[in-house]
């Protein structure tokens, strides 16, 4: 079925829907990863975004039950050159089109994704709509794209954060009971970590658990006092979508908590910590979305190939008391920092990968070691 | 870390002649490395015996040794040059093995030479199956159950422990040579015996079969700071059981989930660390069980490889160049990515297209060899293609192969064989297996059944099914709808077909129109290709590298450049008769254009080559060399001219159609080419010039051929017109063989006449390369063949300058060359084959184009022929270029050919008019004997200086071989011979021991060869019976790697070489010294 991707600057890309009639809107971005579309689809950081894959053949290995990063698909729409209808992989339980249809998410193919990528690189990420109707009236669709909310200033984390705290059972979230006094009976022997879920990827939880940590996940709405009542021993700020600058309350909570607890942040969590300590954030022209970004750990000189997915970046210029720990070697943007005195570490990229290389997994070990040092266990 | 300053002089060992399993990819990697090290200010000493390589161009290194790549010779070069370091990882298995031998012999320690890139323990850990397996177990990776065997007893023992089928893999060999799959104990013993003999260390591994598992390969790079990146993942369409070199492969991997891919990536990095490869590129092969994802490690190469060349071309990431920089201490983050300019080499390329590599086979050249693919590599070349989708890339790749297939389908017949026969073809993969899959789809065999028989992943089968499905759609469209540019459905249909990679030729066949009708219809419908970049980053960064592929997308990414520009059409995939020599000429054309300030645009489809390095030309189009694809580029770029005379037969075949399409062809006009190739016109030309040709005629039928032969007298040479590399050419001695030729080899018809020439027995053949501007002609090189006429010029050894021709004959050859060039109006290069008999000069063939010998002559004389020819084609005059003043003298150069006989069991090694060599080497020295000795050594024949020579020659050769035998006797050799030969020799004063022929009882000659009681074999044969009788001798000789010759001239040259070698030994000398 004929479909059109219309961008706010008036550019249109023709394609075909492989999910039937559809209409979707969001920020159009591209991802350069060559594998891992299922992880991308289910990554809550992509809420509000329509993702175009630069790799032309998508869907080849279908969809399985294990490689999910959350309970559902979060991308607004999926744009590919060619979608495979009959997958081939021993773990596959469903085809990509069926998966998208089941979750009510639009998918289009036949798009010149290289032309689209070049367009976004040159003119920047922008709003767009995908539609199977009005394909003969692109101007109307462009207008609809212009009416969408802008990414800057949008609090999307609020839209994907859970309403209730939960724990992690090894494979999926597990409901918990918070005591009436606001306290929590931590079940495990490991260091107690309160994890803010701004749209967390499950692999972060899998890897935190693998470090022997006792994990309690809390919603973004929890302020510092509420978290303190839970009696955690450390704080972890997750990844998530949208503009960090829109999260003023969360930033405040992070500042307070990081003063009292060993704290770590990934991606949006990194940006929140940056803002909390007086840095600023700015929007990248077309963001970093892929699995091949080189990041140097400036403390060791070692380079990791990292999984990245962010549209905003931290600028710590002028803020004292911090050391840059990681730098992106492609564009020299900040990829990680540490407080010089306090046990606070953060990185912009995704050590949990999923999808992407596992090179940065040492971040979880570092977090664990930091806790051992602070907590003596 | 900055580069090392404690080393100043670095030696690079090349890979020697082109052989199966070791093609020109190592010229690509070696020349990249040499350039990049020189750029860093290091002094580079280079060793390679192959004169047709760019790396042996004297400008590329400070010292270039065209010497045999054998440990004792390389040791001499080390003693002379005293390099600080040796980089062993760029010259393929040959370079690596030589470095290992030098290290083990203590040569490197003695002269304080450091192995950089990979140390001795690392190489051994990666290459020895036992050490490798232990290392893998150490890091928790699985390898197939296996056992190392050094004796047949070991083989029998392990054969009882591992379940059949068992894979036999010899250690330290090329391309899995000597390996195979054994289904029972008897198979196992036979294969293992060959494998033990083929292995340099007499070591083979018996391995649990993972036949049918999916095969993957990852290209890894590591620097001194332990940073690792994966450059490319490659998935084989052919499952385990077909050698990777023979497999159709795809990049990136298509059927792995991210989890599976990352596990493989983690394993690759862990392997790099465990094996300890300090710096550079390696490849790791994996097999994955399609049923449950179980992954096992198959092998790793601690060096750049055929796959790393492919990965470089597939991604745009120059692995060899970066590997060289890493070896001298740089880290990945210190090396800029040329393509993006703003980012560094420390990243992983991501690609937004699909790359397909398809191997090229030449089974037709080796009667008796079976077209079945197994674990020993048999392909001689490969084509690579790029498309936005797999389907587009695959069909482009199939037409790039130049086997006559315009894509997956050709005539689109709906006929198919019995399904059981099709399934049998799928179970026994051959060079045409993909066409069998197409047939299976047409026959209605289901994807699962095709998969079960072929082990090809269903994803690929479904892709093929989509292409086949499109055939139907296209056919019914033409029936139902109108083919007209004003029909919008037609444009839509054309675009759909093009997106699936269909060629105009295929559409022409489907729609029963001419190719040009389709082309015009397509262009009028607005369906034309666009050109996209290979940029390592999927358009995430702006790219500066001018490396393009065509695709039927709608975006416009590049514009044709302004300024004066010239398109060079390359040679396509390597095959016998068309190899690296032509790529060498194309590269030189590009270099010459650069010197002239003219923009160069290269078109080629061969990923192994230097010409497809994005550094070589101003623009590179990685495209099939078909009329459609080249014309589209030419129409897009609108060049000043197109060079077709350097890339061999491939572009030459395009000359006339391109000219008809209005394309300006540079240099010698296509009409002149036709005058030289068309029999009648050529005869008229010779008559006009008063030149002599062997008596001949053209036959449209057997009867006509019989009459011609009767008239001119036997023996005659028969061959079809318009062939390359002596395809189906034969010398026949009587009517009976003539009749059988017509029955077996060729069908004559008015469209395809058979040429019949008088065969000049015992004539001396001479090859001449010349350069002409239409007015003046420079006779660049006169090469005297060592073997007598009748052996394909590409297969015979030759010497330059000629060493037995009289000055009068040389002058006459020169005179005739000049006259022919002037008459044909040659502008550029020309090659002529002469034959000398009884002091008379005959012309056998004239080719007004670059010949296979152009690089050899250039290296032997110091005159860069292809460069000068390019300048001449652009209007410069030979008088002004003055090649005469550049010519170097004072030494002899011997070219020897290298043959793939040891790859094809059951094929006779006798030389004939059909070309079968894959590569060549050059021996340089001050005397013929020493130069010949070097050429033999370089070609893998170490002539003995003492011991026993075995002689068996037919009656007419007995007198002729006598002088050679006398020399060998004087050198102290024991002479043994078959009864007749022995009697003849003894009666002529050379006592010889008699040895029994195979059918005369035992112990016979083959027993002696097997017992290694014979050190040299001289064996000529003529006529069908003797050929059959002596074949066993030659086969055994080959198997036991004993030096042999099958010609009297070869025997003479060998005897002289042995004599001179005993007298003076071998010394080494660089090209720069020869030229000084």
pLDDT (tens digit per residue) in B440-455: 999 999 999 999 999 9
Residues of chain A with pLDDT > 70, as a percent, come to 100
CB of B344 less than 8 A from some CB of A: yes
DSSP B72-94: HHHHHHHHHH--SEEE-SSSHHH
Q: Which of A334, A344, A341 is nearest to A297 (CA)?
A: A334
| φ, ψ dihedrals at A328, nearest 5° | -75, 125
Q: Are B777 and B771 in contact (CB under 8 A)?
A: yes
φ/ψ region of B722 (left if φ > 0, alpha if ψ in -120 to 50, else beta) reads: left
DSSP B30-48: HHHHHHHHHHTT-EEEEE-
pLDDT (tens digit per residue) in B1033-1057: 887 787 778 999 988 999 999 999 9
In this prediction, residue A13 has a pLDDT band, given cuts at 50, 70 and 90, of very high
| B486 class by beta-carbon count within 10 Å (0-12 exposed, 13-18 middle, 19+ buried) | exposed
pLDDT at B749 over 90: no
Distance CA B646, CA B855 (A): 11
Q: Which of A262, A301, A255 is nearest to A279 (CA)?
A: A255
Put simply, whether the predicted model's pTM sits higher than 0.80 gets the answer: yes
In this prediction, residue A335 has a pLDDT band, given cuts at 50, 70 and 90, of very high
- Which strand (E) or helix (H) includes residue B196? helix B185-198
CB of A163 less than 8 A from some CB of B: no
* Closest Cα in chain B to A39: B258
The predicted structure's pLDDT at residue B367: 77
Among candidates A67, A301, A356 on the partner chain, residue whose Cβ is nearest the Cβ of B257: A67
The predicted structure's pLDDT at residue B497: 97
Six token digits for residue B361: 């086979």
pLDDT at A351 over 80: yes
Is A60 within 8 Å of B459 when comparing Cβ atoms? yes
pLDDT at B11 over 60: yes
pLDDT (tens digit per residue) in B828-844: 999 999 999 988 999 99
SS (H, E, C) B668-684: CCHHHHHHHHCHHHHHH
Is B256 within 8 Å of A121 when comparing Cβ atoms? no
The predicted structure's pLDDT at residue B1034: 81
- Which three-class secondary structure state does DSSP give residue B63? strand
φ/ψ region of A321 (left if φ > 0, alpha if ψ in -120 to 50, else beta) reads: left
The predicted structure's pLDDT at residue B202: 84
Neighbours of B331 (CB within 10 A): 21
Strand partners, A82: A57
The predicted structure's pLDDT at residue B66: 98
Six token digits for residue B452: 């079960």
Residue B687 CB contacts under 8 Å (≥ 6 apart), including other chains: none
Tell me what the mean pLDDT of segment B592-608 comes to. 97
Measuring CA to CA, how many Å separate A274 from each of A277, A318, A330, A344? Answer: 6, 12, 21, 11
Residue B100 CB contacts under 8 Å (≥ 6 apart), including other chains: B88, B120, B123, B124, B127
Tell me what the mean pLDDT of segment B788-793 comes to. 84
The predicted structure's pLDDT at residue A45: 96
The predicted structure's pLDDT at residue B581: 96
Residue that the structure tokens 């209605």 belong to? B444
Tell me what the mean pLDDT of segment B404-420 comes to. 92
Q: Which of A111, A45, A120 is nearest to A78 (CA)?
A: A111
Neighbours of B877 (CB within 10 A): 13
- Which three-class secondary structure state does DSSP give residue A329? coil
Q: Are B1048 and B1022 in contact (CB under 8 A)?
A: no
On chain B, the residues whose CB falls within 8 A of the CB of A36 are 257-258
Six token digits for residue B353: 């297209």
Q: Are B62 and B77 in contact (CB under 8 A)?
A: no
- Which three-class secondary structure state does DSSP give residue B339? coil
Rounded to 10 deg, the angle between the A268-276 and A248-260 helix axes is: 80
Pairs of CB atoms within 8 A across A/B: 157
Q: Which of A32, A35, A9, A57 is nearest to B340 (CA)?
A: A32
pLDDT at B370 over 90: no
Residue B962 CB contacts under 8 Å (≥ 6 apart), including other chains: B985, B988, B990
pLDDT (tens digit per residue) in A134-163: 999 999 999 999 999 988 888 899 999 999
Distance CA A286, CA A122 (A): 9
Residues of chain B with pLDDT > 70, as a percent, come to 97
* Closest Cα in chain A to B1: A301
pLDDT (tens digit per residue) in B687-712: 999 999 999 988 888 899 999 999 99
φ/ψ region of B661 (left if φ > 0, alpha if ψ in -120 to 50, else beta) reads: alpha
SS (H, E, C) B316-337: CCCHHHHHHHHHCCCCHHHCEC
In this prediction, residue A53 has a pLDDT band, given cuts at 50, 70 and 90, of very high
pLDDT at B748 over 90: no
Q: Is the ipTM reported for this complex over the cut 0.85?
A: yes
pLDDT (tens digit per residue) in B90-128: 999 999 999 999 999 999 999 999 999 999 999 999 988
**Distance to chain A for B267, nearest Cα, Å:** 11
Measuring CA to CA, how many Å separate A163 from each of A222, A252, A283, B71, B337? Answer: 10, 19, 28, 74, 47
pLDDT at B174 over 60: no
**Sheet hosting strand A192-197, strand order edge to edge:** A173-175, A166-168, A214-219, A192-197, A234-237, A263-266, A344-347, A334-339, A322-328, A280-297, A302-315
Restricting to A residues 97-126, those with a Cβ less than 8 Å away from any Cβ of B are 112-115, 117-118, 121
Distance CA B609, CA B54 (A): 10
pLDDT at B175 over 60: no
Distance CA B1044, CA B953 (A): 13
pLDDT (tens digit per residue) in B457-495: 999 999 999 999 999 999 988 777 678 888 888 999 999
Cis peptide preceding B165, ω within 30 of 0: yes
- Which strand (E) or helix (H) includes residue B454? helix B447-454
Angle of CA points A50, A53, A56, to nearest 5°: 145
pLDDT at B200 over 80: no
Instruction: State the number of CA atoms in the 13 A half-sphere of B310 facing the CB.
Output: 35
Distance CA A23, CA A13 (A): 15
Distance CA B196, CA A61 (A): 41
The predicted structure's pLDDT at residue B745: 66
pLDDT at A250 over 90: yes
Taking the mean position of all CA atoms in its chain, how far away is CA B1061?
A: 31
Residue that the structure tokens 């009648």 belong to? B680
Distance CA B399, CA B629 (A): 10
CB of B343 less than 8 A from some CB of A: yes
Among candidates B229, B389, B539 on the partner chain, residue whose Cβ is nearest the Cβ of A117: B539
Is B261 within 8 Å of A296 when comparing Cβ atoms? no
Q: Which of B328, B418, B384 is nearest to B115 (CA)?
A: B328
The catalytic residues of A are 267, 350, 352
Q: Of B860 and B839, which is predicted with more confidence? A: B860
pLDDT (tens digit per residue) in B53-76: 999 999 999 999 999 999 999 999
Tell me what the mean pLDDT of segment A243-269 comes to. 97
Q: How far apart are the first and last CA of chain B?
A: 38
Is B258 within 8 Å of A86 when comparing Cβ atoms? no
pLDDT (tens digit per residue) in B493-516: 999 999 999 999 999 999 999 999
Six token digits for residue B796: 């015979």
Distance CA B982, CA B929 (A): 26
Question: Hey, what's the torsion of the CAs at B685, B688, B689, B692, to 10 degrees?
Answer: 70
Q: Which of B314, B352, B388 to mutate to test the interface with A (most CBs of A within 10 A)?
A: B352
Q: Which of A350, A110, A87 is nearest to A207 (CA)?
A: A350
* Closest Cα in chain A to B231: A292
Q: Are B924 and B931 in contact (CB under 8 A)?
A: yes
In this prediction, residue B413 has a pLDDT band, given cuts at 50, 70 and 90, of confident
């Amino acid at each position: 079925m004929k479909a059109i991707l219309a961008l706010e600057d008036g550019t249109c890309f023709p394609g075909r829907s492989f999910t039937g009639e559809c209409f979707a809107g969001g920020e159009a971005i591209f991802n350069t990863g060559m594998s891992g579309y299922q992880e991308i689809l289910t990554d809550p950081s992509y809420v509000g975004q329509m993702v175009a894959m630069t790799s032309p053949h998508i869907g080849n290995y279908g969809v399985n039950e294990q490689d999910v990063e959350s309970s559902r698909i979060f991308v607004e729409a999926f744009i590919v050159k060619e979608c495979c209808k009959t997958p081939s992989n021993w773990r596959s339980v469903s085809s990509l089109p069926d998966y998208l249809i089941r979750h009510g998410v639009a998918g289009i193919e036949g798009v010149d994704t290289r032309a689209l990528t070049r367009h976004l690189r040159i003119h920047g990420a922008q709003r767009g709509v995908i539609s199977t109707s009005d394909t003969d009236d692109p101007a109307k669709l462009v207008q609809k794209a212009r009416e969408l909310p802008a990414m800057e200033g949008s609090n999307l984390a609020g839209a994907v954060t859970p309403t209730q705290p939960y724990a992690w059972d090894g494979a999926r979230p597990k409901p918990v009971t918070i005591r009436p006094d606001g306290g929590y009976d931590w079940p495990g022997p490991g260091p107690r970590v309160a994890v803010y879920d701004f749209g967390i990827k499950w692999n972060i939880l899998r890897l935190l658990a693998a470090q022997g940590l006792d994990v309690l996940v809390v919603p973004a709405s929890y302020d510092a006092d509420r978290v303190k009542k839970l009696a955690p021993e450390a704080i972890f700020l997750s990844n998530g979508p949208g503009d960090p600058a829109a999260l003023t309350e969360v930033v405040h909570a992070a500042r307070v908590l990081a003063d009292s607890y060993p704290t770590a942040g990934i991606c949006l969590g990194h940006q929140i910590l940056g803002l909390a300590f007086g840095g600023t954030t700015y929007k990248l022209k077309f963001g970093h979305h892929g699995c091949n970004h080189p990041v140097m750990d400036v403390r060791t000189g070692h380079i990791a190939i990292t999984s990245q997915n962010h549209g905003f970046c931290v600028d710590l210029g002028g803020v004292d008391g911090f050391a840059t720990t990681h730098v992106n070697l492609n564009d020299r943007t900040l990829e990680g920092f540490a407080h010089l005195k306090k046990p606070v570490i953060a990185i912009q990229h995704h050590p949990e990968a999923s999808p992407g290389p596992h090179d940065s997994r040492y971040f979880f070990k570092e977090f664990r070691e930091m806790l051992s040092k602070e907590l003596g266990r | 870390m900055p580069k090392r300053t404690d080393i100043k002089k670095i030696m690079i060992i090349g890979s020697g002649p082109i052989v199966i399993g070791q093609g020109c990819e190592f010229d690509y990697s070696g020349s990249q490395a040499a350039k990049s090290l020189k750029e860093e200010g290091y002094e580079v000493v280079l060793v390679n015996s192959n004169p047709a390589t760019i790396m042996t161009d004297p400008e590329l290194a400070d010292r270039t040794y065209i010497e045999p790549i054998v440990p004792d010779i390389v040791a001499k070069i080390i003693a002379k040059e005293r390099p600080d370091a040796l980089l062993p990882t760029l010259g393929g298995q040959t370079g690596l093995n030589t470095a290992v031998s030098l290290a083990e012999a203590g040569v490197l320690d003695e002269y304080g030479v450091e192995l950089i890139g990979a140390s001795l323990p690392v190489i051994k850990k990666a290459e020895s199956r036992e050490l490798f397996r232990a290392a893998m177990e150490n890091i928790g990776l699985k390898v197939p159950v296996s056992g190392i065997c050094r004796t047949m007893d070991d083989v029998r023992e392990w054969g009882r422990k591992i379940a059949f089928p068992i894979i036999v893999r010899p250690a330290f060999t090329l391309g899995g040579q000597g390996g195979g799959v054994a289904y029972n104990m008897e198979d196992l013993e036979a294969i293992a015996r060959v494998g033990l003999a083929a292995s340099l260390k007499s070591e083979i591994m018996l391995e649990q079969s993972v036949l049918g598992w999916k095969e993957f390969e990852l290209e890894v790079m590591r620097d001194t700071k332990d940073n690792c990146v994966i450059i490319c993942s490659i998935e084989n369409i052919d499952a385990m059981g077909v050698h990777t070199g023979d497999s159709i492969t795809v990049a990136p991997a298509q059927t792995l989930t991210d989890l599976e891919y990352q596990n493989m990536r983690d394993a690759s990095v862990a392997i790099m660390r465990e094996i300890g490869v300090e710096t550079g590129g390696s490849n790791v092969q994996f097999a994955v069980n399609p049923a449950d994802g179980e992954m096992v490690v198959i092998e790793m190469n601690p060096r750049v490889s055929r796959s790393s060349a492919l990965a470089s071309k597939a991604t745009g990431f120059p692995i060899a160049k970066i590997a060289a920089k890493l070896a001298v201490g740089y880290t990945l983050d210190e090396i800029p990515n040329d393509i993006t300019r703003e980012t560094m080499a420390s990243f992983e390329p991501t690609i937004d297209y699909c790359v397909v590599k398809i191997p090229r086979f030449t089974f037709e050249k080796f009667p008796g060899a079976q077209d079945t693919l197994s674990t020993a590599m048999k392909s001689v070349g490969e084509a690579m293609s790029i498309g936005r989708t797999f389907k587009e890339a695959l069909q482009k790749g199939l037409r790039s192969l130049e086997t006559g297939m315009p894509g997956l389908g050709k005539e689109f017949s709906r006929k198919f064989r019995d399904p059981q026969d099709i399934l049998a073809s799928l179970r026994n993969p051959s060079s045409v297996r993909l066409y069998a899959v197409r047939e299976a789809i047409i026959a209605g065999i289901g994807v699962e059944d095709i998969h079960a028989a072929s082990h090809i992943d269903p994803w690929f089968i479904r892709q093929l099914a989509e292409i086949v499905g499109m055939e139907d759609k296209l056919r019914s469209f033409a029936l139902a709808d109108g083919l007209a540019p004003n029909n919008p459905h037609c444009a839509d249909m054309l675009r759909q077909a093009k997106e699936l990679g269909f060629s105009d030729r295929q559409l022409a066949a489907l729609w029963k129109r001419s190719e040009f009708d389709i082309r015009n219809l397509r262009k009028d419908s607005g369906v034309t290709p666009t050109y996209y970049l290979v940029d390592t980053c999927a358009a995430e960064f702006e790219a500066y590298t001018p490396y393009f592929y065509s695709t039927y997308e709608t975006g416009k990414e590049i514009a044709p450049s302004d300024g004066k520009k010239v398109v060079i059409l390359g040679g396509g995939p390597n095959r016998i008769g068309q190899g690296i020599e032509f790529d060498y000429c194309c590269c030189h054309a590009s270099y010459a254009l650069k010197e002239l300030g003219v923009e160069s645009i290269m078109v080629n489809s061969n990923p192994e080559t230097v010409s497809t390095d994005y550094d070589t030309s101003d623009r590179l189009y990685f495209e099939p060399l078909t009329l459609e694809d080249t014309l589209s580029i030419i129409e897009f770029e609108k060049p000043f001219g197109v060079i077709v005379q350097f890339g061999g037969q491939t572009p030459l075949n395009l000359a006339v159609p391109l000219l008809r399409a209005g394309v300006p062809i540079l240099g010698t006009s296509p009409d002149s080419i036709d005058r030289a190739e068309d029999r009648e016109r050529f005869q008229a030309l010779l008559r006009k010039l008063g030149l002599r040709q062997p008596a001949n005629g053209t036959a449209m039928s057997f009867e006509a051929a019989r009459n011609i032969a009767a008239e001119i007298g036997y023996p005659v040479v028969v061959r079809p017109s318009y062939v390359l590399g002596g395809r189906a050419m034969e010398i026949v001695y009587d009517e009976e063989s003539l009749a059988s030729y017509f029955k077996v080899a060729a069908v004559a018809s008015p469209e395809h006449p058979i040429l019949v020439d008088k065969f000049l027995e015992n004539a001396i053949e001479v090859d001449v390369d010349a350069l002409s501007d239409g007015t003046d002609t420079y006779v660049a090189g006169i090469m005297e063949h060592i073997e007598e006429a009748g052996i394909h010029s590409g297969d015979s050894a030759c010497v330059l300058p000629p060493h037995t021709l009289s000055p009068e004959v040389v002058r006459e050859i020169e005179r005739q060359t000049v006259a022919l060039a002037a008459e044909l109006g040659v502008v550029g290069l020309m090659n002529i084959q002469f034959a000398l008999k009884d002091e008379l000069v005959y012309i056998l063939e004239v080719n007004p184009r670059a010949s296979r010998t152009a690089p050899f002559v250039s290296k032997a004389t110091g005159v860069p022929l292809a460069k000068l020819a390019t300048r001449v084609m652009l209007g410069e005059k030979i008088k002004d270029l003055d090649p005469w003043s550049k010519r170097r003298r004072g030494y002899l150069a011997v070219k020897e050919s290298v043959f793939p006989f040891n790859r094809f069991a059951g094929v006779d090694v006798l030389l004939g008019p059909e070309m079968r060599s894959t590569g060549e080497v050059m021996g340089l020295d001050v005397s013929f004997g020493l130069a010949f000795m070097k050429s033999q050594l370089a070609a893998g024949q170490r002539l003995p200086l003492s011991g026993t020579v075995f002689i068996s020659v037919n009656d007419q050769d007995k007198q002729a071989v006598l002088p050679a035998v006398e020399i060998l006797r004087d050198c102290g050799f024991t002479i043994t011979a078959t009864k007749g030969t022995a009697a003849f020799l003894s009666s002529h004063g050379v006592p010889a021991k008699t040895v029994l022929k195979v059918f005369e009882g035992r112990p016979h000659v083959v027993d002696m060869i097997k017992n290694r009681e014979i050190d040299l074999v001289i064996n000529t044969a003529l006529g069908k019976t003797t050929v059959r009788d002596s074949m066993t001798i030659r086969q055994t000789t080959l198997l036991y790697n004993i030096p042999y010759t099958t010609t009297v001239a070869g025997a003479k040259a060998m005897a002289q070489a042995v004599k001179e070698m005993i007298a003076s030994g071998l010394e080494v000398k660089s090209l720069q010294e020869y030229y000084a």
